Every structure is written in structure tokens, then in C-alpha cells.
Amino acid sequence: MAADTAGALKVQYPANVKFVRMPCTGKTDIRYLLAAFEQGADGVYLVACPLGNCHHVRGNERGLARVNRAKKLLDEIGIGGNRLDMFFVSGSQAHAFADAARAMTARIVELGPNPLKVKEAELREAAKAAREEEQEGFRGRRTT
């Protein structure tokens, strides 16, 4: 909702922000948060109704509990829980939404790329080097 207001008011926020709309942050599942990092996201944040003012009674509180659990898991597996956050913004607070987007983007720039992407790139480079090394002294026909 705040994103819609920001767009209508032409409030600027970072272009690298990707949206996944949900009826309520109470529907947030830890699996989806972790999957975003597994698929290469450098950071993830949720924007929820202000605490105590959820349209679905206590959905934002359930969402916050799940985010906190996911942060612990991210710390345990070495990605870093500070790459995940949750902001509480009313639908009319376009500037607060944009500030949250800028703050999260600045944090991710400071943290650098997702460690999983770095490891994947290192593995790709090692595989490429191994293939090239294998090709160097080979003479003949490959059957595979």
C-alpha cells in the first residue's frame, strides 16, 4: 500500500527494489525468505502495517516473529541475518517507505553481494579452470 502511494506521489526510491505483494505479512513463510537468498537475492525486507494496526488483527506480529527466526537461521548458515529486515509503515507514508528502501539498499551495498553468489562464482571459475587444464595436453577424439 505504501509502495502504491509512493508511486502515485512520484516519491523516488531505489530502482533495484523488487516487489512481491501479499495480502498480509502474517502470510510470510520462512521458506520463501530463505529461498530468496538461495536464488541470489542480496537482501530482503518486508513492509508491514504498523504494529497494533494490522488489518488482519495480528498478522504483522506473526510476520515479525518469522522474520526474526529467519534472521537467526541466516546467521547460523553464514549469510547474515542483517540482510533481512522488516519495516512497519502505514499505507499513507510514502516517504517512510522510500526511506526504508534507501536504508536497506545502503545496508546491502555496505554488506556486498550474497555470500552464496560469491561461492557459486568461485565454483564456476574452478570448474572452468579444471576443464581448461584437462584440454591442454589432450590429443585425439573425445567420445562424450
| pLDDT tens readout for residues 61-108 | 999 999 999 999 999 988 999 999 999 987 777 788 888 889 999 999
- Model confidence over 12-59: pLDDT tens digits? 666 777 778 888 888 889 999 999 998 889 999 998 888 888 777 888
Calpha distance 34→20 (Å, rounded): 14
Task: Give counts: helices (H), strands (E), the chain.
Answer: 5, 2
As a dihedral over the C-alpha atoms of residue 66, residue 110, residue 128, residue 34, rounded to 10 degrees, the angle is 0
- Concatenating the DSSP letter of every residue in 102-126 gives HHHHHHHHHH-S-HHHHHHHHHHHH
Strands 44-48 and 84-88: parallel
Closest CA to 72 of 104, 42, 30: 30
